[in-house]
Amino acid sequence: MIGRDGEMRILHALLRNAGDGQGTALLAYGPAGVGKSTLLRALDDEAARSDFRVLRTSGVETEQWFPYAALQLLLQGASRGIRDLPAVHRQALNGVFGATEADPPIHRVGLAVLEVLADAADRQPLLLLVDDLQWVDPSSRDVLRFVARRMSDLPILLLAAARVDSAEEYSMGVRPDMRLDPLGPDAAAELLDAEAPDLPAPLRSLVLNRAVGNPLALVELPKAVRRSQGQTGGDLPLTQRLEAAFASRTDSASKECRALLLTLASEPTAPLNTVLNVSRDLCGSPVSLHALQEAIDAGLLVLNGRTPAFRHPLMRSAVYTRSPLADRLRAHSALAAALDDAPDRQLVHQAAAAIGPDDALADRLERSADTMQARGKLAAAVPALRQAAELVRDPYRRTGIMIRAAELADEINDRITTRMLLDRADMDALGPVERARLMVVTDSAAFEPGAPERRIEEMVKAAAGAFDAGAQDVAKDLLWRAAARCFFQDGDARVRARVTTELDRWNSEPNAPHVLTVRAYAQPYRYGAQVLARLDALEPDHEDGRSMHFLGSGAMGLGDVTRAVGYLSPAVAAWRSQGRLGLLARSLAASYSRSYLGQLDQAREESAEGLALAEETGEWIMWLSLKANVALVAALHGETEESARTIREMRAHRLFPSMPFAAARAQQVDGLLALFDGRVTEAYETLAAAFAPGDPHYHSVCRWLLVPDLADAAVAADTVEEARGLLADLPELARELPSEMMTVARSYVAAVLSPDETAEENYIAALGALPSGWTLTRARLQLHHGRWLRRRRRSVEARKPLRLARDEFERIGARPWLEMAGEQLRAAGETGRPRPAGSGSPLSAQEMQIAVMAAQGLSNREIGQRLFISHRTVGAHLYRIYPRLGITSRRALTAALATLRAGTAASGAGSPGRSGDAVPEAVD
């Protein structure tokens, strides 16, 4: 490990932490030969000395299309634990390893693997080593990533290595990835001298020059240049040089050894007896274990038990690529004949043996994919379709098959494969239906944020073509996505009208959930009143998660908050029970609605869970929304540093500049933070920017959620007249779109920005007009009313609305406004009541979820299944929760949580950013 002291210090620290129950996962990545596999072996040795149990797997290029192949290898050493699992987890693993017909959802497999590993780690800490992650099959990779995100309370360390230049697609998503760069000059020279101490000076200089710090090259190139007297081609890329160095070792090998090596390179997981038999067929003479020993002696192969394997992946590719094409085709044909008991693998080799288009073989592959898809084995159907597409003659059929494969890959959230398949699709060989299908998959898996109006127009046109061709489901899906872009990217009036005009042409059922959502997203002011009226008359099926999600999304787009929560709560329950983690993240994004309803604790819990799921599933648009939720709740709780940090992270995301809906919400939080800190002019200017067309933070609909904040800032900054001008079109638009958001905005402004002579009646009218559930806004309005009464020297009358406001802020936990209400009450002559000391909730969002579920009587396993974590993680959380709440048992949780909620709501700790006597300036 010359030159890797820093990397080894990091890994040793992670291993020690894992031994103490603080698990994590890390990806080491870099170019071929840079030392990733050596790093894994070094940590393997250290783990053995630290009494860790080590489980290993690796990706194999020819195995990457076989679902769960790498996972099965990883769990071989822990297979006994599968028998002890609850039935639901045992069935999941039996399903993916071939004992049942259909593959279970990926989250069930992930949870089952997590429980196997957690139980094993409870007996002995675990080190999981995954080499060549870039060749690990997508299903195994998804499970590993699922497990990696849930190990923080388990004595498990996962170290993966990938031969890639960028870690973005392969990261475990838990901690910063470790890039391995070539060695520096001193370390490179030290390694070369250690490996080849007697190398002549000219050859030493040549190797150092061509190896450019690559450790494997420093080990292997000396052998090659010695044999070639320094004549190695200097223009070859490094990996080709290494492959040439490896392949040159076979030049003097026997024909039996070369046949064995080619067979193993073509099917690295074949049993040894199959390798020997196929090798015999290739060379025309018996191949015995002597050929195997010859390859081992040459340093090309090693034995893992009784299974031969190449010592390095480049050795496999060197043997395979340097073999004549005719020999490779013969090897695949021989393997296909030998694997008649494994039809899926047989088809793979038959396809590899094909020397040109073969429609009959493509038909067989498509039929195999049909069977797999019907059995629910989508991950296995994708490679079959990919190979079928490569064999067909007709370019239109080829593109159709490729798109179908991309659709299935997208359905199982395999974004790497989806993008690869999309890149291979021939855009010139697309019919109207295929074009629409391609755009649906692209919008899902390879979202391009630029030029939104042009993209929306293209989507509408493609949807129209698909509808006219009879593919109505594809057309509806694409048009809905176009409408969603109108909302998230705030499309202009022209493209918004195009979306609804196309929808009108279809004569769809007017109460269909997708129709209502398209109208709400695309033209809320034109269709908002109509959509709300239809929602009033609708009796949806609350068990239908998809319909409830559509309806909730449409209501949320209109700003009808209470209705959105009512629809999306059943959708959350449906997606949770089905394990649809991406859709669950989308539905949880509505948690911002709960902030306006005064449900800050629930908003905090749901936002935190949704944010983690959005990161895990790549739902980056929802990630922006959930990030804004987290920041808003933190601001309302008075956690200003946390809120500001979250907004900075949100603004740094690559999609942020092209998502006005997110920009408006980020501006809202920044404005509130300035307001709470007493920077009232800055607060007003920040919030006013979101109402200026052309400003990056402007959104034609979302801006109205900021109206109460803008009004508060205008009063504090003495810019009331300017604010009235900014909001001049509010009354008319509120008549066109009578949603809760618009009703609240109009009522709040009418009272708070009212002239003194009409303020009294306007406050009374506004409080009567507010939707009943908007408790936070009602309390803010009561605070303003009390302040107005006090300034009119009606202090006794002011105390009632101020008390109501204070009590509601206290119940909700809105500390900045609680401070303001307390100051106003004292100014009105009421002595402040003592408040309990404290520093806020001692529980994180996830700990609060666990505590609530445990108080409801759920077992650790039941809680784990609902939150997609291990039951041992639940137990670890409860172990920490009890002393924080001052209890010792589950039975005391209910009372402790009630006390906690009352105490944290009343606590004045968690300063909003200034001393208490300065805060009222934001109101006065």
**Contact in structure between 179 and 187 (CB atoms under 8 Å):** no
This prediction has a pTM of 0.81
Task: Say whether 53 sits in a helix, a strand or coil.
Answer: strand
CA distance linking residue 801 with residue 885, whole number of Å? 34
Asked whether residue 801 carries a pLDDT value surpassing 50, the answer given is yes
- By mean pLDDT, which of 102-116, 138-152, 392-406 is the weakest? 102-116
Amino acid at 455: R
Does the structure show a pLDDT above 60 at 232?
no
For residue 160, give the amino acid letter: A
Give tens-digit pLDDT for 648-668.
Answer: 999 999 999 999 999 999 999
| Phi and psi at residue 507, to the nearest 5° | 55, 45
pLDDT for the residue 919:
32
* pLDDT reading at 642 higher than 80: yes
**656 touches 662 (CB < 8 A):** yes
Q: Please measure the distance between the N-terminal and C-terminal CA atoms of the chain and give it in whole angstroms.
A: 66
Give 442's pLDDT tier (boundaries 50, 70, 90): confident
Cβ atoms of residues 384 and 368 within 8 Å: yes
Q: Tens digit of pLDDT for each residue in 499-554?
A: 999 999 999 999 999 999 999 999 999 999 999 999 998 888 888 988 999 999 99
Percentage of the chain surpassing pLDDT 70? 94
Which whole-number Å values give the CA distances from 394 to 407, 753, 808, in the listed order? 20, 69, 69
**143-169 tens-digit pLDDT:** 999 999 999 999 999 999 999 888 878
Counting Cβ atoms within 10 Å, is residue 578 exposed (0-12), middle (13-18) or buried (19+)? middle
* Backbone conformation region of residue 56, classed left if phi is above 0, alpha if psi is from -120 to 50, else beta: beta
Number of other residues whose CB lies within 10 A of the CB of residue 544: 15
pLDDT at 630: 95
Q: What's the chain's average pLDDT?
A: 88
Among the residue ranges 249-253, 513-517, 620-624, 870-874, the one predicted with the least confidence is 249-253
Asked if pLDDT for residue 247 goes beyond 50, the answer is yes
* Residue 261 token pair: 């090596």
| Residue 909 scores a pLDDT above 60 | no
Tens-place pLDDT, residues 353-378: 998 899 999 999 999 899 888 877 78
Report the pLDDT averaged over residues 431-457.
87
The tokens for 586 are 């989308």
Residue 237 binned pLDDT confidence (cut-offs 50, 70, 90) = low
pLDDT at 229 over 70: no
Round to whole Å and give the CA distance between 85 and 648. Answer: 43
In angstroms, the CA 210 to CA 645 distance is: 46
State the pLDDT confidence band at 226, using cuts at 50, 70 and 90. low
3-state helix, strand, coil in the chain (%, to 5): 70, 5, 25
Residue appearing with tokens 């105490």: 903
Give the pLDDT band (50/70/90) at residue 212.
confident
Rounded distance between C-alpha atoms, residue 195 and residue 135, angstroms:
30
Tens digits of per-residue pLDDT, 290-341?
Answer: 999 999 998 889 887 778 888 877 788 888 888 899 999 999 999 999 988 8
Q: Compute the chain's Rg from CA coordinates.
A: 32
Residues 912-923 have pLDDT tens digits of 333 333 333 333
Q: Is the pLDDT of residue 142 over 50?
A: yes
**Helix ranges (DSSP H) in 357-451:** 359-374, 378-391, 395-411, 415-424, 432-445
Is pLDDT at 924 greater than 50 in this prediction? no
Number of alpha carbons in the 13 Å side-chain half-sphere of residue 856: 10
Count Cα neighbours of 847 within 13 Å in the Cβ-side half-sphere: 17
Interval 567-593 mean pLDDT = 88
* pLDDT above 60 (res 622): yes
Tokens matching residue 148: 């990696």
CA distance 654 to 633: 23
| C-alpha distances out from residue 91 to 112, 121, 555, 853, Å | 9, 21, 39, 26
Based on the number of CB atoms within 10 Å of its own CB, is 863 exposed (0-12), middle (13-18) or buried (19 or more)? Answer: buried
- The beta-carbon contacts of 198-204 under 8 Å, at least 24 apart in sequence, are 199/226, 202/230, 203/230
pLDDT of residue 908: 42
Look at residue 316 in the predicted model and tell me its pLDDT: 85
Q: 3-class DSSP state for residue 67?
A: coil
Q: Tell me how far apart the 2 most distant CA atoms of the chain are, in Å.
A: 109
Q: How far apart are CA 110 and CA 459, in angstroms?
A: 35
Count of helices and strands (H, E) across the chain: 47, 7
CB count within 10 Å of CB 275 equals 25
Residue 532 near residue 739, CB atoms below 8 Å = yes
Instruction: Provide the CA 213 distance to its chain's centre, in angstroms.
Output: 35
Strands 301-304 and 307-310: what pairing? antiparallel
Please say whether the dihedral angle defined by the alpha carbons of residues 182, 57, 121 and 154, taken in this order, is positive or negative.
Answer: positive
Give SS3 for 152. coil
Quick one: pLDDT at residue 589? 87
Residue 831's pLDDT is 74
With bands split at pLDDT 50, 70 and 90, how would you rate the model's confidence at 833?
Answer: low
